[in-house]
Every structure is written in structure tokens, then in C-alpha cells.
């Protein structure tokens, strides 16, 4: 199997901040990303689309954890400050991060048949 590495994930635009993710979390996220996709629906085990899909899938999982357990952070409050953030209006959780959106685009553009996650 041509598994992705954490360096593949952090090389994505906007993912440089994921270098501080713990080694344990990296291992768990990569295990899911490297086994969850049906590569026959993309361009095979060693294909560029497969690698990019895996990296964006992993980054999406990481981004969800960075933003908050239930999706992107909606607001935060400290003793002297409260602020709210725009809430994504996507149809799926994948549409809540830029990495998830790229992942969905790759599925739509390269997949042949149903995708099993």
C-alpha cells in the first residue's frame, strides 16, 4: 500500500499548523485515511488522486478536531471578551472545512461508482 505520511498532510495549503498534532493522533488519523478509501474508485493504490484524497481526508479529520469536537468553533468567551464566528452552511460535515471540500471535489471528479468510507 502507498500510504500517506503526516508530511503529506501538512504539505497541503493551510495545513502547516497541523505539525503540532500529537504523534498518537497522527497515527490514528493516518490509519483511517490510509484504509477507509476504496482506491479502485480513484486511480489505484499509487495514484495521485488517491494520495491527494487521502491527504485531504486526513486534514479534514484533523481540522474538525482543531476547530472543535462538533465541527467548527462557533463562538468563544473569555472573562472580558466574547466573539462569534460564521457558521458554515454546507450540506455535509465535509463541507465545513476546506480540506473536506477538496475531498468531495476529488470524489465527484474521479470516482466511478459509490464510494465506501
**pLDDT, tens digit, for every residue of 45-98?**
999 889 999 999 999 999 987 655 444 555 666 777 766 655 555 567 888 889
24 or 2: whose pLDDT is higher? 24
Quote the number of domains for the chain: 1
* Closest C-alpha to 48, from 6, 102, 106, 100: 106
Residues 12-18: what's their mean pLDDT? 92
Residues 18-43: what's their mean pLDDT? 91
Residues 85-114: what's their mean pLDDT? 76
**DSSP letter assigned to residue 61:** H
Domain span at residue 51 reads 6-110
The three grid cell numbers given for residue 47, joined into one nine-digit string: 495514484
C-alpha–C-alpha distance, residues 64 and 70, integer Å: 8
Grouping H, G, I as helix, E, B as strand and the rest as coil, residue 52 is helix
Flag whether 117 is in a domain: no
- Burial class of residue 22 in the structure, from the number of CB atoms within 10 Å of its CB (0-12 exposed, 13-18 middle, 19+ buried): exposed
Flag whether 105 is in a domain: yes
Flag whether 1 is in a domain: no
Give the per-residue pLDDT at 101. Answer: 92
Flag whether 39 is in a domain: yes
Give the per-residue pLDDT at 80. Answer: 74
Any residues with CB less than 8 A from the CB of 56 and at least 6 apart, and which? 12, 99, 100, 102, 103, 106
Flag whether 116 is in a domain: no
Flag whether 44 is in a domain: yes
Flag whether 41 is in a domain: yes
Q: To the nearest whole percent, how much of the chain has pLDDT over 70?
A: 74
Give the per-residue pLDDT at 69. Answer: 45
- Answer yes or no: is pLDDT of 110 > 90: no
Flag whether 115 is in a domain: no
**How does the average pLDDT of the chain come out, rounded?**
81
Amino acid at each position: 500500500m502507498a500510504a500517506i505520511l503526516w508530511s503529506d498532510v501538512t504539505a497541503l495549503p493551510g495545513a502547516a499548523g497541523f505539525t503540532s498534532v500529537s504523534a498518537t493522533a497522527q497515527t490514528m488519523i493516518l490509519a483511517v485515511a490510509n484504509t477507509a478509501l476504496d482506491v479502485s474508485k480513484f486511480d489505484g493504490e499509487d495514484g495521485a488522486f488517491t494520495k491527494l484524497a487521502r491527504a485531504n481526508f486526513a486534514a479534514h479529520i484533523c481540522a474538525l478536531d482543531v476547530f472543535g469536537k462538533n465541527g467548527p468553533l462557533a463562538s468563544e468567551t473569555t472573562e472580558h471578551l466574547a466573539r462569534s464566528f460564521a457558521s458554515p452552511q454546507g450540506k455535509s460535515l465535509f463541507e465545513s472545512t476546506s480540506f473536506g471540500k477538496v475531498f468531495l471535489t476529488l470524489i465527484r471528479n474521479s470516482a466511478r461508482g459509490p464510494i465506501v468510507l
